[in-house]
């Protein structure tokens, strides 16, 4: 059992020890210990911001989240800096992708966002990575042949993405991408990005989402080789986009965003 007097003595000794430590710290000439936090344009600084703001949707480590992987050098090399900056600053209208800059209450300033994009490229990018197909990233609304898109879908996609999920079957590897309600949640750009770059982070799945370079599967699940062309991608997006039951669902996501909207 510890007697009260001893406890007081211990406390006094500790106080003296701490006080002398603090005093030592102020000896003249001792360099101050100041470690600057890593800046956002470095791999380390970028990682903190990413895990706080993006990881929940784009995956811890930039892979295997519900939203597309960011740790994809081919993808990062294909998206121009200004487009990346705009998506991060303003979000993507009508989707769950939030904006982090602009007039939002919690806005990150433009310089910090620019630095963040640099940090992400430093960590996960590779400027010389080129898509096997060289198909441009940006979706351009315009003339496309949705009927041809439907034919392509039947010839290359439907066995992985059945239009309706067969009840009680475990044969399917992926969800329906023709469901009108799914299509209300994702933009045409998201459809294009998914088709052009695939999902290189799902290697453990029974079958990966291929990039536009393929290989694909025919209606019976047999391998089909041959890359999609840029206009094939346009046609597939036009087909899927035409199946939306109504325009993109645009939820008021936060008070911060409504502040922006009332401007
Ligand atoms: C070998 C199987 C396979 C083939 C072939 C395939 N996909 Fe996929 N696809 C996947 C998997 C796996 C995913 C990711 C898991 C998921 O989202 O359900 C995916 C994801 C997607 C997504 C993104 C879903 C989302 O919002 O996250 C789209 C869009 C898509 N595929 C369209 C297509 C189109 C169009 C084709 C034909 C050109 C195609 N896929 C061919 C397996 C495949
Ligand atoms: C609440 C979930 C969520 C958070 C948080 C989030 N995103 Fe997203 N992000 C999405 C969704 C969903 C999409 C697809 C939107 C669409 O349909 O176009 C997306 C799209 C994107 C795209 C465009 C993909 C393309 O098609 O080329 C980029 C780039 C991106 N996000 C980066 C980020 C970064 C970086 C952060 C953190 C600073 C972040 N996102 C935070 C959900 C999120």
pLDDT value for 8: 53
> Minimal CA–CA distance to 248: which of 163, 195, 181?
181
Q: What is the distance between the alpha carbons of residues 192 and 263, in angstroms, rounded to a whole number?
A: 31
Give buried/exposed letters for 165-189 (b at 16+ CB in 10 A, else e): eeeeeeeebbebbbbeeebbebbbb
pLDDT value for 145: 97
pLDDT value for 246: 82
Question: HSE of 78 in the Cβ direction (CA atoms, 13 Å)?
Answer: 20
pLDDT value for 110: 95
> Minimal CA–CA distance to 180: which of 122, 108, 261, 240?
240
Residue 141 has pLDDT above 80, yes or no: yes
pLDDT value for 243: 95
What CATH number belongs to 43-130?
A: 1.10.760.10
Decide which of 1.10.760.10, 1.10.630.10, 3.60.10.10, 1.20.120.530 is the CATH code for 146-165+174-241.
Answer: 1.10.760.10
Q: Please tell me the number of the ligand nearest to residue 186's CA.
A: 2
Residue 154 has pLDDT above 90, yes or no: yes
With a 6 Å cutoff on the Cβ, whether 117 touches ligand 1 is no
Residue 1 has pLDDT above 80, yes or no: no
Distance 141 CA to ligand 1 centre (A): 21
pLDDT digits (tens, 9 = 90+) for 181-231: 899 999 999 999 999 999 988 865 556 899 999 999 999 989 999 999 999
With a 6 Å cutoff on the Cβ, whether 76 touches ligand 1 is no
Residue from 209, 212, 234 whose mutation best tests the ligand 1 pocket (most atoms within 8 A of CB): 209
pLDDT value for 254: 47
Residue 120 has pLDDT above 70, yes or no: yes
Comma-separated ranges of CATH 1.10.760.10 domains in the chain: 43-130, 146-165+174-241
More confident residue, 28 or 115: 115
Band of residue 16 on the pLDDT scale cut at 50, 70, 90? low
Band of residue 130 on the pLDDT scale cut at 50, 70, 90? confident
Residue 102 has pLDDT above 70, yes or no: yes
Distance 89 CA to ligand 2 centre (A): 11
Q: What is the mean pLDDT of residues 108-117?
A: 95
Q: Which two tokens stand for residue 193?
A: 């990005």
pLDDT value for 146: 97
Residue from 48, 58, 124 whose mutation best tests the ligand 2 pocket (most atoms within 8 A of CB): 58
pLDDT value for 205: 54
pLDDT value for 208: 81
Residue 32 has pLDDT above 90, yes or no: no
Helix/strand number for the chain, H first, E second = 11, 2
Distance 203 CA to ligand 2 centre (A): 21
pLDDT value for 173: 59
**Percent of the chain's residues with pLDDT above 70:** 78
Residue 22 has pLDDT above 70, yes or no: no
Strands, E assignment, the chain: 216-217, 223-224
Which range among 1-10, 23-32, 61-70, 125-134 shows the weakest confidence by mean pLDDT?
1-10
Looking at ligand 2, which residue's alpha carbon is closest to its atom 35? 54
Which residues are near ligand 2 (CB < 6 Å)?
53-54, 56-58, 67-68, 70, 79, 84, 87-88, 92, 95-98, 100, 186-187, 189-190, 193
Closest atom of ligand 2 to CA, residue 186: 17
Strands, E assignment, 138-254: 216-217, 223-224
Q: Which two tokens stand for residue 153?
A: 């879908």
Looking at ligand 2, which residue's alpha carbon is closest to its atom 31? 97
Which range among 39-48, 61-70, 162-171 shows the weakest confidence by mean pLDDT?
162-171
């Amino acid at each position: 059992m510890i007697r009260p007097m001893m406890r007081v003595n211990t406390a006094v000794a500790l106080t003296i020890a701490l006080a002398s430590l603090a005093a030592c710290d102020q000896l003249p000439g001792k360099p101050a210990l100041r470690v600057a936090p890593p800046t956002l344009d470095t791999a380390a600084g970028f990682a903190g911001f990413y895990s706080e703001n993006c990881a929940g949707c784009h995956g811890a480590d930039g892979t295997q989240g519900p939203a597309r992987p960011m740790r994809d050098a081919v993808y990062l090399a294909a998206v121009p800096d200004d487009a990346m900056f705009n998506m991060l600053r303003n979000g993507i209208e009508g989707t769950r992708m939030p904006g982090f800059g602009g007039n939002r209450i919690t806005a990150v300033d433009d310089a910090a966002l620019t630095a963040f994009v640099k940090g992400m490229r430093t960590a996960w990018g590779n400027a010389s990575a080129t898509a096997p197909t060289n198909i441009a990233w940006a979706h351009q609304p315009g003339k496309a042949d949705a009927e041809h898109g439907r034919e392509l879908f039947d010839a290359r996609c439907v066995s992985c993405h059945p239009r309706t999920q067969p009840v009680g079957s475990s044969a399917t590897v992926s969800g329906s991408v023709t469901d009108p309600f799914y299509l209300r949640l994702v933009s045409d750009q998201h459809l294009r990005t998914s088709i052009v770059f695939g999902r290189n982070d799902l290697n453990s799945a029974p079958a990966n989402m291929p990039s536009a370079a393929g290989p694909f599967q025919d209606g019976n699940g047999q391998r089909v080789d041959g890359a999609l062309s840029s206009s094939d991608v346009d046609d597939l997006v036009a087909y899927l986009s035409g199946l939306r039951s109504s325009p993109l669902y645009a939820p008021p996501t936060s008070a911060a965003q409504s502040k922006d909207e009332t401007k």
